[in-house]
Amino acid sequence: MPFHVLISDNVDKRAVALLQQSQDIRVTFEGDMPRDKVISILGDVDALVIRSATKADAALLEYAPNLKAIARAGVGVDNVDLNFATDKNIVVMNTPDGNTISTAEFTFGLMLSLARHIPQAHGSLAGGKWDRKSFTGVELRGKTLGVVGFGRIGRQVAKRANAFDMNVIAFDPFVLPDLAADMDVSMVDLDTLYAQSDFITLHTTVTDESRYMVNAATIAKMKKGVRIINAARGVLINDSDLAEAIKSGQVGGAGLDVYEPEPPTADNPLIGLPGVIHTPHLAASTSDAQNNVALDAAQLILDALLQGRYANVCNPKVLHK
């Protein structure tokens, strides 16, 4: 009997082709699949490939008695119940490399858009106006960029910021200062980053410490007029506090690609607020990144099912039970 692999989200089709090259694999794939349908199929599924739409929580995984591996085509595994997966001997893996550059480039797009009001100016002209007075911006050159989280994406953003002659500082308790110094970046504590940055960009994972880290108390420590970019996870920001700070002018603008929840609720105070640029979780949405993460995810599943080899394991305890 071939292994049954379910791809329940809209993953690049090249993943299907790669998996189907093996006669030992049978694939079910039809783009984004409603949760009810995923549950109805899971009974004989050996491996699951997902992006962020499928919520692989305990209630869903209960229906997958044969599941051995989950591959997340992307970085964040906040849509997977890692503890439950570990209990049920399901190995959860991600593809941390494939969308790094796309996300870093998108972050830069948000930063330039914030600095120069490009989306607002586009909207104005598309609406029939010729307004050259309302959109005076600032240069990035000489400004200080504070990078919160100096992992893969944070480092690529820093590299690009250096090319724009920005002064880059970063906070990451897990990164040695020497590595940053080699990239012309100074590692600082969070309070220093808040006090010195003209732009702050978030690239950290969600932990008890980082959840709602941008809030009224931390915003009060920031430079007046700071611009904040979030292409990581919505839950890093307290939306009401940020909205109030934008209205008061303490924060000069925000570029947001992520929300809690997604899609944002109708009462989200940031949506439509002047000074906020928002996009619907698009940072990794390039053909390049989606090709990379799909192929990486498919290869992880092939190695896991056919060779018993696991890489990029997000719940390593499962391998030492």
- In the complex with ligand MLT, the residue whose CB is nearer, 252 or 264, is 264
Cβ proximity to ligand MLT: between 99 and 144 the closer is 99
Residue nearest to ligand MLT (CB): 74
Q: Which two tokens stand for residue 294?
A: 């799909």
Which residues are paired to 48 by β-bridges? 6, 70
52 lines the binding site for ligand MLT (CB under 6 A): yes
Residue 49 in contact with ligand MLT, rule: CB under 6 A:
no
* Strands (E) located in 144-225: 144-148, 167-171, 185-187, 199-202
57 contacts 84 by C-beta, under 8 angstroms: yes
| Residue 76 binds ligand MLT (CB under 6 A) | yes
Would you say 76 or 146 has its CB closer to ligand MLT? 76
Q: Is 139 a catalytic residue?
A: no
Q: Decide whether 74 or 149 has the Cβ nearer to ligand MLT.
A: 74
Q: What angle do CA 93, 95, 101 make, to 5 degrees?
A: 160
Question: Angle at the Cα of 243 (from 242 to 247), degrees rounded to 5?
Answer: 115
Residue 111 — φ and ψ, nearest 5°? -65, -45
Q: With binding defined as CB under 6 A, does residue 312 bind ligand MLT?
A: no
Distance CA 168, CA 187 (A): 9
Contact pick of 74, 146, 252, 255 for ligand MLT (by CB under 6 A): 74
User: Taking CB under 6 A as the rule, does residue 185 contact ligand MLT?
Assistant: no
CB under 6 A: which stretch of 68-76, 84-92, 168-176, 313-321 binds ligand MLT?
A: 68-76
Rounded CA separation 217/223 (Å): 13
- 110, 276 contact by CB (below 8 A): no
Tell me which of 75, 115, 245, 276 binds ligand MLT, using CB under 6 A: 75
Report the nearest approach of ligand MLT to the CB of residue 284 (Å): 4
- Provide the binding-site residues for ligand MLT, judged by CB under 6 A: 51-52, 74-76, 99, 284
Catalytic residues: 233, 262, 281
